[in-house]
Chain A
Amino acid sequence: KQEVTQIPAALSVPEGENLVLNCSFTDSAIYNLQWFRQDPGKGLTSLLLIQSSQREQTSGRLNASLDKSSGRSTLYIAASQPGDSATYLCAVAVNDYKLSFGAGTTVTVRA
């Protein structure tokens, strides 16, 4: 059974600092890995998707890396802003349709 862990559970940084969010998974046989953002009282929004054959994916200030052999992914958010405050969830595709989610890291960016 695939286990996805995100540490830390919560993070608080001053505005402008770079954010580093970690995700680890137990089974390296994955289809892909996705990062989602969840705002309070809202559903999830997909941020980045990394295919199992890729090492990283970038979108604007966001960059996600994937190391399948070590079972790790890292989401970098450059020059954080208060609007980046949210919970960030990592999800691993264990087959061609099923996602296994981590519990998330709640980020607070202080103005």
Chain B
Amino acid sequence: EAGVAQSPRYKIIEKRQSVAFWCNPISGHATLYWYQQILGQGPKLLIQFQNNGVVDDSQLPKDRFSAERLKGVDSTLKIQPAKLEDSAVYLCASSGRVGAETPLHFGNGTRLTVT
């Protein structure tokens, strides 16, 4: 089966600019996650979707971050405007259903550098 696809792989922008990341989960996976991984830290959950509904966005900085999952398939994460502290790897993951015992399948991530 094809894995979780993310694009772009790398992005360099200046602070206050906007950026968008795209994720295509494994076919049939209803649950989609966006994680932020700052260098030297573990991933932090930003938002979780079940189909096209939001399950948890408690750690998403909503003044600058937004995410959508139209039609319950692909997802886009946007940052507007970006800050220096947003420099990180943004990981997308999907799973067949909600549940901590359900394996998560991660994409390779998008590395964002804000200068």
Contact = CB atoms under 8 A, between A and B. Distances in A.
B53 to A, nearest CB: 13
Contacts of B44: 101
Number of chain B interface residues as a range: 20 to 34
Contacts of B45: 98-99
A102 B44 CA distance: 10
Find the residue from A4, A43, A51, A104 having the highest chain B CB count within 10 A. A43
Nearest to B95: A97
A97 B99 contact: yes
Nearest to A41: B108
A66 interface: no
B99 A101 contact: no
Contact of A104 (B42, B100, B106, B111): B42
Find the residue from A41, A89, A97 having the highest chain B CB count within 10 A. A97
Nearest to B92: A43
9 contacts: A41-B108, A41-B109, A43-B4, A43-B108, A44-B93, A44-B106, A98-B45, A98-B56, A101-B44
Interface of B: 4, 31, 40-45, 48, 55-56, 91, 93, 98-101, 103-104, 106-109, 111
Given A32-B101, A43-B107, A93-B100, 7 more contacts: A43-B108, A97-B56, A97-B100, A98-B56, A99-B104, A103-B41, A104-B42
